[in-house]
Amino acid sequence: MKLNCQIFDLNRSLYCGQVFRWTLEYDQWWYGVIQGYIVKIRQLKDEIEFETFPKISNPYKFISKYFRFDDNLNYIYNQISKDTVMKDAIRNAFGLRIICQDPWECMISYLISQQNQIPKIKRSIETLSQKFGTSLTFDGKIFYTFPTPEQLSKANLNELQKGFNQGGCALGYRAKYVLSSALLIINNSLNFCLEDLKNMPYDSAWKLLQDSFCGIGPKVADCILLFSMDKLEAFPLDTWIRKIILNLYLKKTVNDQKIREFCSEYFGKFAGYAQEYLYSNRIHLCQ
DNA sequence: CACCAGGCGCACA
DNA sequence: TGTGCGCATGGT
């Protein structure tokens, strides 16, 4: 199937560190698993070419929603282009789009991301899927869906925590956060479901995530809201972004709360896009 | 061998 | 309300 798209860079969107389950194979084809579907996709100029397995009833809608093709990037660039730092960041990562992930997978992925490195995050999530997800075969390769809360709740703490060379997922101290989150959901211990957060204002959803789940703090909550709950005002403040904002914008040391207040005010309701373009340029901007 | 990683919970003031 | 410390494991 083919789909025309404007202001979109597939490689940048998949490679920038917001999603963890995509791999680049031959002829520029990316393979990934989105919910229960394997997706094979590549970009040729302004056109993307893709295929799903199993076949999905409305593939164009599925792909458009995932890559947020309804976001008007021209308008968003205009809104966040407050200075030369951001203009350069946009130029260097032009076409990068926030991806709309599954809330549950996103939550677990960013619980795992804390105090961790991207290659290891990917390896942990891949191992988690292999051990507890459902297998699918396509193009002669075996893929695994991200485990549901039910599937993940059957794991024991030890095999989540321990290292790869001991048959574990190498989650370390984060294992208890992952398992307790799965148990909270399958035991119906919460008086809301994750999808409900999409219909809440940003502030209340941000607080509710941190109050409900152990291991979710300000940064992880923002990642969940930005990458899976359509909250484009969320501004995940990690070590890289902290350095960039303190060095290039505030030029003095203030606490995280002050940084968040500044970024929210300065970048506005598309602050999440601003964050993603700064993060994408982090190596360049932190020198 | 040190040291640190897309932070967070907890103990203290 | 605000600050400092330890954390499991893997990578450099």
Residue at minimal CA–C1' distance from B6? A238
Confidence band of A252 (pLDDT split at 50, 70, 90): very high
Q: Is A163 within 7 A of strand C by CB distance?
A: yes
Confidence (pLDDT) at A31: 98
Q: Is the pLDDT of residue A215 over 90?
A: yes
Confidence band of A104 (pLDDT split at 50, 70, 90): very high
Confidence (pLDDT) at A287: 79
Does the pTM exceed 0.85?
A: yes
Tokens matching residue A59 = 């593939």
Quickly give A114 CA vs B13 C1' distance in Å: 27
pLDDT digits (tens, 9 = 90+) for A119-155: 999 999 999 999 999 999 999 999 999 999 999 999 9
- Of the candidates A51, A8, A4, A10, the one whose C-alpha atom is nearest the C-alpha of residue A28 is A10
Residues 87-116/A with CB < 7 A to strand C = 115-116
In chain A, % of residues over pLDDT 70: 100
pLDDT digits (tens, 9 = 90+) for A53-77: 999 999 999 999 999 999 999 999 9
Confidence (pLDDT) at A49: 98
pLDDT digits (tens, 9 = 90+) for A194-206: 999 999 999 999 9
Return the closest nucleotide (C1') to the Cα of A161.
C8
Residue at minimal CA–C1' distance from C2? A255
Beta bridge partners, A23, equal A31
Quickly give A18 CA vs C10 C1' distance in Å: 21
Tokens matching residue A72 = 């008007």
Residue at minimal CA–C1' distance from C6? A173
Q: Is A255 within 7 A of strand C by CB distance?
A: yes
Q: Is A137 within 7 A of strand C by CB distance?
A: no
- Tokens 């549950």 belong to A104
Q: Is A220 within 7 A of strand B by CB distance?
A: yes
Find the mean pLDDT for residues A239-250. 97
Quickly give A68 CA vs B10 C1' distance in Å: 39
Quickly give A271 CA vs B10 C1' distance in Å: 31
Q: Is A116 within 7 A of strand B by CB distance?
A: yes
- Is residue A177 within 8 A of residue A214, CB to CB? The reply is yes
Q: Is the pLDDT of residue A208 over 90?
A: yes
**Strand C nucleotides below 7 A of a protein CB?**
2-3, 7-12
Residues with Cβ within 8 Å of A85's Cβ and at least 6 positions away in sequence, in order, are: A248, A249, A278, A285
Q: Is the dihedral of CA A263, A267, A269, A273 positive or negative?
A: negative
Q: Is A245 within 7 A of strand B by CB distance?
A: no
Quickly give A115 CA vs C5 C1' distance in Å: 15
Residue at minimal CA–C1' distance from C10? A120
Q: CA–CA distance from A273 to each of A11, A94, A159, A270 (Å)?
A: 17, 12, 36, 6
Return the closest nucleotide (C1') to the Cα of A117.
B5
Confidence (pLDDT) at A148: 98
